[in-house]
Amino acid sequence: MSLRYPVNEKDHCMGNPNAPIQLLEYGDYQCPYCGQAYPIVKQLQQHFGNDIYFIFRNFPLANIHPHAKLAAIASEAAARQNKYWEMHDSLFENQKRLNLTSIIGYAEELQLDLFKFRVDVTNPTLEEHVESDFYGGMRSGVSQTPTFFINGEKYTGSWEQDPFIQHLQTLM
């Protein structure tokens, strides 16, 4: 299945936009499998360097992960202070503590303007952004997390580090 909504200016992207590998993840900050995939994606980025462009979209499975949507909104609030990726990392690295108090603590550690952050976390526009990611994922065939798309096509192979690297090398 193909990605229904191409990468655009609303996405959070890291790396070389002209890289031969575009890796998009639909993820949930509270999902244990996404937590397992997080360091693997970091390794892929390190391994491929300028040859990979990574995009993360929110897909909070709120019915089974009660803090996932708040965490996704918090990442968007951090983005308003140019700290999206730092918050993204904090949320994955502290996956077992994603309540509001903990998230505000991560914002403080990142030296965010806490007043602005608290206001932004309640901003309906950010919730709409998270929901837009989620519904876009559903329209692209996402039903679980993590789900990866490579160069616009849904990847159904193993996302364990070695097989993932081997598959991505075939695209070079």
Q: Give the model confidence (pLDDT) of 68-84 as tens digits.
A: 999 999 999 999 999 99
The yes-or-no verdict on residue 152 having pLDDT over 90 is: yes
Quick one: tokens of 8?
């655009």
What mean pLDDT do residues 96-102 have? Answer: 97
pLDDT confidence of residue 1:
87
pLDDT confidence of residue 80:
98
Query: Do the beta carbons of residue 81 and residue 75 sit within 8 Å?
Result: no
| Helix locations, 56-171, DSSP H | 68-79, 84-93, 100-109, 114-121, 124-139, 161-169
Phi, psi of 95 (to 5 degrees): -55, -30
Residue length of the chain? 172
Quick one: tokens of 98?
């994603």
Give the C-alpha separation, 108 to 117, whole Å.
Answer: 9
| Helix locations, 21-83, DSSP H | 32-48, 68-79
Cβ neighbours for 156, distance < 8 A, ≥ 6 positions apart: none
First to last CA, the chain: 21
> In whole angstroms, how far apart are CA 142 and each of 13, 39, 79, 119?
19, 21, 24, 31
What mean pLDDT do residues 24-38 have? Answer: 98
What mean pLDDT do residues 151-155 have? Answer: 97
What mean pLDDT do residues 107-123 have? Answer: 98
* pLDDT band with cut points at 50, 70 and 90 for residue 30: very high
pLDDT confidence of residue 172:
84
What mean pLDDT do residues 108-120 have? Answer: 98
- In percent, the amount of the chain with pLDDT more than 90 equals 98
The yes-or-no verdict on residue 168 having pLDDT over 90 is: yes
CATH 3.40.30.10 fits 12-169, yes or no: yes
The string over 140-157, giving b where at least 16 C-beta atoms fall within 10 Å of a residue's C-beta and e elsewhere, is bebeebbbbbbbeebbee
Taking all residues of the chain, what is their mean pLDDT, rounded to a whole number?
Answer: 97
